[in-house]
Amino acid sequence: MSSSASRPRRPVAGERARSRAAGDAVGPKATAAPPSPHAAPPAVPLPAPAPPVAAPPAPKAPETAPVASGSRRWAAPVAALVASLALLAVLLGVTWQDPQQQSNTDRVAASAARASIEQMLSYNYKTIDAQAAQIETLLTGPFKAEFTSAMDKEIKPLAVKNQTVVEAKVSDIGVMSSSGSTVRVLAFVNQARVGADHTTPAVDQNRVIATMSKVGDRWLVSKVEAF
């Protein structure tokens, strides 16, 4: 008995049609037509939209400092006021002095200036050396050396040559300014002069500004300006 494998298989109904359909499906693919030169170019892909930007956070309101107590609120302004007044006093040289005491100081300084000016502007050719030595004790500072030099080089030679005698009198004197140990005075001086060249007395009227400086317990002349 022959095996069933050698027998031809009967076609199954519909198999042919399916084979043809399958053959059509697996047959060669149609070739695509070449692109036309007038065809539109491919569309450019648009970029993706950017993600939305988050808005910056709103600034925080400044924190309000706690209100200080009454003593702290007044401490800073009072300290600033005291410092300002102290600085003003230093800059202006303001020092409190009793008006009566200042008046006494000015009077003593003016009295010393009167006596010193009269001696300084008076001389006698016969005793001029002794007078110059006495006058130097009334002076102080660089002005002392200036006076000595002028006496030796200018005043003495002319006084001896012309046998000159000069007597000075302060007709009026007043305080111009005063500060601490320095007082400036204005003096009106009359000088009567006689000599070999002037037998009749000649009176010269001068105005002198003298600066008096307190040295120890004395008021000495530290500067003289004549005009």
Both tokens of 149, joined, read 């030099």
Q: DSSP labels for 142-192?
A: HHHHHHHHHIIIIIHHHHHHHT-EEEEEEEEEEEEEEETTEEEEEEEEEEE
Q: What are the pLDDT tens digits along the chain (227 aa)?
A: 444 444 555 554 544 544 444 444 444 444 444 554 444 545 445 555 555 555 556 555 555 555 445 555 555 566 666 566 666 554 455 445 567 778 899 999 999 999 999 999 999 999 999 999 999 999 999 999 999 999 999 999 999 999 999 999 999 999 999 988 999 999 999 999 999 988 888 999 999 999 999 999 999 999 999 87
CA–CA separation, 169 vs 197, rounded Å? 22
Q: How far apart are the first and last CA of the chain?
A: 173
Residue 77 DSSP class: H
| Domain spanning 99-226, CATH class | alpha beta
Closest CA to 214 of 104, 129, 130: 104
**Greatest extent of the chain over all pairs of C-alpha atoms, in Å:** 198
Q: 124, 131 in Cβ contact below 8 A?
A: yes
Bridge partners for 157 per DSSP? none
Closest CA to 139 of 169, 107, 106, 112: 112
